């Protein structure tokens, strides 16, 4: 039967719109549970009653952040609507499992992946069952109390009006939907109703005539028999517990048990009244939902939730035990997913999971899947120092055997980070973070290996992460500043220009050099706005020097360009904009590019550099001689300056200079000058070194012999003192 659409002016009322799909879901739901619902409503009326609950489930499914707990309200609402039959809950969970994602998966503000939708749906079923169970239990307990009071009143009144009261008591006792039993204070069962008899297997003699203390079960909580003894002594009026019983056939009956004390007219304890609600099916459902919530749906391994529970227990133990954790990430798994598809990737993960399980079979060992291609293996005991290494070797060993997949043989490799130590010293979160960091260290070392956790390496990785996350805010807060190192003309010793060197004044770590944060900025992409800021500040400072120092002050400012900036599409436009706004001539700007960034550069990469060079901006090839580039490439690069790497001139710091270094530098200078390129040498630290470079014909130099990087007002303060 189709559901009429809403008013035509509302797009969501279309049959294929979100509201239409939601109504179809409500229709399926009502048809599934209406036959088992005790209600005076017609089925269409009942369907309209379920529609708001369907909307609430849809909202929970697409909530961000996701929380399954609100689904408890839906389960409780079913009980309020008199859907108290166990089949109503089972049918409702089946409808949610089969149709909620199908009809409502696309109704949210953003598309959910199938895996995420199914995981959310499973957790919602668990919460919904919990809400149903809690509401039904509260309702049942309320009825139980009413029955208990009725039974007590009936027994008391029976002494006065025996026949009328006996009839009423028997009606309540016999026809109750829950099990009722009466026992004396010695524990002898005197009376039971038909419901209780059926709960214990259907034979009256299996219940009547037995003593209550015969029904001990290994899973009884310690308080059960303590409460029982207090009640028969008259020290307690009633108690409620969850208690299991063995049936005659050996199966287990789980109940919510309420026991009340019945007193005689003088107030003396006389009988016990027991009310039992059968919760066996509900408990099995909860166990199934618990399993689904704590195990990976694809591989069947424990998931992150269950593993973290076990890890917390292992690392918090105070009994002198140790633990060992292997954190595994498959190498190159993304390439398999991209080339063979996610279905093949899933089959590969299932095979990997089976192999990992075969590695961790000893007591105290477990394997879990954290998600994606990340797995963990945990071992506990007194000798985990050796055991965890052996476990890691077994894991790498079983992964080495190729896996056949769709007619292909795939060799799986993995990187493992190991954390081992005594329990009670670190939290589970700290251990897992250390294992994760160590795993990436193994992956950086080439993969297919394991590494042991190192506190200093962890600290460095955590510091790097902290710096990475702090970079964007640092730029906004103005924590960066620039120091300038003079470029000295070797011919007359005059200051020819300056190189701009960015620094970070970190609130906790103090002043950081570019080697600490430039690679992080490159990795995160922040190098583009940071580089633009450095260019703006440096050009502004150079223009200030030009205006204030007409007596031959710095005529050029050198600014470093990173590889990421070279690929930025607005490099030329932003550089032109900075020069025009500052009023600095293009010839006063030199952009330094490392030789390694231009190795194998194609015309597309060189085009913006050529455009800048044609405008008059100098391009310097920085760290020349370290990139193993073909010298013939110099003819096609739009550079006007070679910055010779300091490794070629370190041999000149002492007298006599290394003759090999002299020949190399002499050859480079000769080649550069023949190509009409100027030569700048960095890392000059002694006067002897400066003299040798002057004699070899180098044009400009910078280094601690002349000045360390400093404030812009110290640009003319040359030390001319050996720094080594």
* pLDDT tens, residue by residue, 306-353: 999 999 999 888 777 899 999 999 998 888 888 888 888 999 999 999
For residues 206 and 260, the model is more confident at: 260
Nearest to 241 by CA among 213, 221, 261: 221
HEC profile of 20-53 = HHHHHHHHHHHHHHHHHCCCCCCHHHHHHHHHHH
How wide is the angle at C-alpha 402 spanned by C-alphas 389 and 366, nearest 5°? 40
What's the CA gap between 456 and 648, in Å, rounded?
34
Give mean pLDDT, residues 386-410: 89
What's the CA gap between 299 and 302, in Å, rounded?
9
DSSP 8-class letter at 2 = P
For the ranges 368-372, 563-567, 647-651, which has the lowest average pLDDT?
Answer: 647-651
Residue 357 has pLDDT above 70, yes or no: yes
- Helices 333-340 and 342-359, packing angle to 10 deg: 140
- What percentage of residues in the chain have a pLDDT greater than 70? 91
Residue 702 has pLDDT above 80, yes or no: yes
| Per-residue pLDDT tens digits for 579-591 | 999 999 999 999 9
What's the CA gap between 367 and 376, in Å, rounded?
6
What's the CA gap between 625 and 53, in Å, rounded?
72
If you search the block for the tokens 């550089």, which residue do you land on?
575
- Quick one: pLDDT band at residue 501, thresholds 50, 70, 90? very high
For the ranges 49-53, 99-103, 213-217, 677-681, which has the lowest average pLDDT?
Answer: 213-217
- What percentage of residues in the chain have a pLDDT greater than 90? 32
- Quick one: pLDDT band at residue 12, thresholds 50, 70, 90? very low
This prediction's pTM? 0.54
């Amino acid at each position: 039967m189709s559901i009429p659409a809403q008013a035509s002016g509302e797009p969501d009322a279309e049959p294929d719109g979100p509201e239409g799909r939601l109504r179809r879901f409500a229709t399926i739901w009502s048809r599934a549970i209406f036959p088992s619902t005790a209600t005076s409503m017609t089925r269409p009326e009942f369907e309209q009653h379920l529609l708001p609950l369907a909307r609430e489930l849809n909202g929970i499914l697409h909530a961000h952040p996701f929380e399954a707990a609100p689904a408890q309200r839906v389960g409780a609402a079913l009980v309020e609507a008199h859907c108290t039959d166990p089949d109503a809950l089972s049918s409702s969970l089946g409808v949610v499992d089969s149709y909620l994602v199908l009809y409502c998966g696309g109704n949210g503000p953003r598309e959910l992946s199938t895996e995420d939708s199914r995981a959310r749906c499973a957790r919602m079923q668990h919460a919904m069952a919990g809400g149903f169970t809690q509401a039904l239990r509260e309702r049942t307990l309320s009825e139980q109390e009413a029955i208990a009071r009725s039974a007590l009143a009936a027994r008391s009144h029976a002494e006065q009006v025996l026949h009328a009261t006996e009839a009423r008591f028997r009606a309540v006792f016999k026809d109750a939907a829950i099990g009722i039993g009466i026992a004396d204070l010695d524990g002898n069962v005197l009376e039971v109703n038909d419901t209780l008899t059926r709960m214990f297997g259907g034979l009256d003699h299996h219940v009547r005539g037995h003593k209550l203390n015969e029904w001990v079960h290994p899973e009884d909580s310690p308080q059960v028999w303590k409460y029982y003894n207090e009640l028969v002594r008259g020290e307690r009026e009633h108690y409620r517990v969850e208690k299991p019983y063995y049936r005659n056939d050996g199966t287990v009956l789980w109940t919510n048990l309420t026991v009340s004390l019945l007193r005689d007219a003088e107030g003396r304890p006389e009988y016990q009244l027991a009310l039992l609600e059968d919760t066996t099916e509900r408990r099995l459902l909860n166990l199934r939902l618990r399993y689904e919530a704590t195990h990976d749906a694809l591989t069947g391994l424990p998931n992150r939730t269950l593993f973290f529970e076990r890890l917390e227990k292992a690392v918090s133990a105070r009994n002198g035990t140790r633990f060992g954790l292997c954190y595994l990430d498959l190498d190159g798994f993304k390439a398999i997913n991209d080339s063979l598809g996610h279905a093949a990737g899933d089959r590969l993960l299932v095979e990997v999971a089976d192999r990992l399980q075969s590695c961790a079979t000893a007591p105290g060992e477990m394997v879990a899947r954290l998600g994606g291609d990340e797995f963990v293996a945990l071992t506990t005991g007194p000798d985990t120092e050796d055991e965890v290494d052996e476990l890691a070797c077994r894991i790498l060993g079983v992964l080495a055997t190729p896996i056949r997949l769709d007619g292909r043989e795939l060799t799986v490799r993995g990187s493992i980070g190991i954390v081992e130590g005594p329990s009670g010293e670190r939290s589970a979160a700290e251990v897992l973070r250390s294992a994760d960091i160590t795993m990436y260290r193994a992956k950086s070392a080439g993969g297919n290996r394991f590494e042991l956790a190192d506190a200093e390496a962890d600290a460095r990785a955590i510091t790097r992460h902290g710096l990475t996350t702090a970079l964007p805010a640092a730029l906004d807060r103005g924590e960066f500043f620039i120091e300038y190192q003079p470029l000295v003309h070797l011919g007359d010793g005059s200051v020819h220009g300056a190189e701009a060197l960015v620094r970070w004044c970190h609130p906790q770590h103090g002043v950081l050099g570019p080697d600490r944060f430039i690679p992080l900025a490159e990795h995160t992409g922040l190098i583009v706005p940071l580089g633009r800021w450095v260019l703006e500040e440096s050009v502004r400072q150079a223009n200030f020097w030009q205006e204030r120092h007409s007596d031959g002050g710095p005529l050029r400012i050198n600014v470093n360009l990173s590889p990421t900036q070279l690929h930025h599409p607005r490099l030329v436009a932003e550089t032109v904009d900075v020069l025009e706004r500052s009023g600095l001539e293009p010839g006063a700007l030199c952009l330094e590019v490392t030789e390694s960034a231009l190795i194998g550069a194609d015309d597309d990469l060189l085009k913006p550099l050529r455009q800048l060079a044609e405008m008059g901006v100098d391009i310097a090839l920085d760290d020349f001689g370290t990139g193993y580039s073909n010298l013939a490439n110099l003819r096609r690069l739009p550079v006007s300056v070679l910055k010779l790497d300091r490794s070629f001139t370190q041999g000149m710091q002492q007298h006599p200079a290394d003759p090999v270094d002299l020949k190399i530098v002499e050859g480079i200078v000769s080649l550069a000058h023949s190509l009409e390129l100027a030569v700048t040498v960095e890392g000059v630290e002694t006067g002897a070194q400066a003299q040798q470079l002057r004699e070899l014909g180098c044009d400009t130099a910078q280094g601690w012999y002349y000045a360390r990087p400093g404030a812009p007002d110290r640009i003319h303060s040359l030390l001319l003192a050996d720094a080594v």
